[in-house]
Amino acid sequence: MKNKILDNIKTIIYALIIALIIRTFLFQPFYIPSSSMEPNLLIGDRLFVSKYSYGYSRHSFPFSPGTTKKRLFSNEPERGDVIVFKTPADNRTDYIKRLIGLPGDTIQIKEGELYINKMKVKRNKTNLIQMASCGERDFKVDSYEEELPNGKKYIAIYSKDSNMQNTDLFEVPKKHYFFMGDNRDCSKDSRYLGAVGYVNSNNLVGKAQIIFFSNNKKIGSLLQFWNWNKIIRTDRFLKKIK
């Protein structure tokens, strides 16, 4: 009996070690709590982030130990990647946004349109989405397929009553990146220098790769198993993040 208990404890310990290795070096699950990345990521999406995509920093490890200030096996992210990073404000909170500006870039919104290095980003209006949310508030939006200079395409939405029609000119420092949410008028991102601002390369956690589960919290809780056919978004399972 004693040997069985010890064997079970060993099995649990080994399983925890394997899970920790996978979470630290390969893939980590994340949950989407806000609408800042609508319509591409929805509240209730659960996704896997590849930790190896950009190499490893102290933020790759649990509790972000201050063992190193360098990034090991570093790889440069590509413009347009959807990335999880630690906010510079506290180096603890996880944010997920789209990479818009690389080191040395200038970023600006003028008359409601995005400019990178003083060149207007190509975009085509779509009818994919007409309404979006921001917290408890719903609002009408215009949706566009934007194309970044490297050819990366995605859907971005702008409020019809936007208060972010024009911004300052942002100049991205060396070893830093500029991020924006796809829900442009409901995203605390690099445009807010006091809250997020420019993100150091060491703060990158990983690249968002795939949605493995999703549920609509507005309809009900997962505990309401009798409503799973309405609550669980099966059409989002195993959806690749673009």
Active site members = 36, 97
Residue with tokens 């779509």: 126
The stretches of the chain forming alpha helices (DSSP H) are 2-21, 228-231
* Rounded Cα gap, residues 91 and 85, in angstroms: 9
* Rounded Cα gap, residues 92 and 83, in angstroms: 15
- Looking at the DSSP bridge assignments, the partners of residue 239 are 211
Contact 35, 9 (CB under 8 A): no
* Rounded Cα gap, residues 100 and 88, in angstroms: 17
* Rounded Cα gap, residues 14 and 138, in angstroms: 47
Residue 175 has, within 13 A of its CA and on its CB side, a CA count of 8
